[in-house]
Amino acid sequence: TTLFRSYVFRACFIDPFQGKIAAEFAYEDLQAKQVALLYDVGKDYCVGISSTFKDTFQKLGGEVAYEGKYNTGESRSEE
């Protein structure tokens, strides 16, 4: 995409927006009332999206039935 171009612009969504929209989609469109969250605590991206998802989903009336945290590369996760 950069061939013969001096500048390239990219627009992407911020983490809080992605988490909010995903939670609204799960609750409203999929009609999910309970969810399980699994995310890598070693990556800010994963932590940010899951946090916003959790907050939004609960504010909508949903329940986070399970929240599993792990680190990439670990063979076993303990809570």
41-77 pLDDT, tens digit per residue, is 999 999 999 999 999 999 999 999 999 999 988 776 5
Q: What is the pTM of this model?
A: 0.79
Domain boundaries in the chain? 15-70
Model confidence pLDDT, tens digit, residues 18-28: 999 999 999 99
| C-alpha distance from residue 47 to each of 10, 13, 52 (Å) | 23, 16, 9
What CA–CA distance (Å, rounded) separates 49 from 40?
Answer: 11
Q: How many residues does the structure list for the chain?
A: 79
Structure tokens at 11: 């627009």
Domain 15-70 has CATH 2.40.50.140: no
Structure tokens at 25: 């989609």
What CA–CA distance (Å, rounded) separates 53 from 19?
Answer: 4
